Amino acid sequence: MTSEIYTKSSRKIAILTGGSRGLGRNTVINLAKRGTDVIFTYNSNQAEAANVVAAVEALGRKAIALQLDTGNIPTFDVFIARVREALTELGAEKFDFLVNNAGTSHHGAFEETTEAELDGLFNVHFKGVFFLTQKLLPLINYGGRIVNISTGLTRITVPGSGAYASMKGAIEVLTRYLAKELGARGIAVNAVAPGAIATDFSGGMVRDNPELNRWVSEMTALGRVGEPDDIGPMIAALLSEENRWVNAQRIEVSGGMAI
Using DSSP's 3-state secondary structure scheme, residue 190 falls into strand
Tens digits of residue pLDDT in 75-88: 999 999 999 999 99
The answer to whether 177 is a known catalytic residue is no
Catalytic hit among 6, 42, 142, 164:
164
CATH number listed for the domain at residues 11-253: 3.40.50.720
What are the extents of the domains in the chain? 11-253
Write out the chain's pLDDT in tens, 259 residues.
344 344 446 789 999 999 999 999 999 999 999 999 999 999 999 999 999 999 999 999 999 999 999 999 999 999 999 999 999 999 999 999 999 999 998 889 999 999 999 999 999 999 999 999 999 999 999 999 999 999 999 999 999 999 999 999 999 999 999 999 999 999 999 999 999 988 776 666 667 678 889 999 999 999 999 999 999 999 999 999 999 999 999 999 999 999 9
E-state strands within the chain: 12-16, 36-42, 63-67, 95-100, 140-149, 188-194, 250-253
Residue 197, judged by CB atoms within 10 A of its CB (0-12, 13-18, 19+), counts as buried
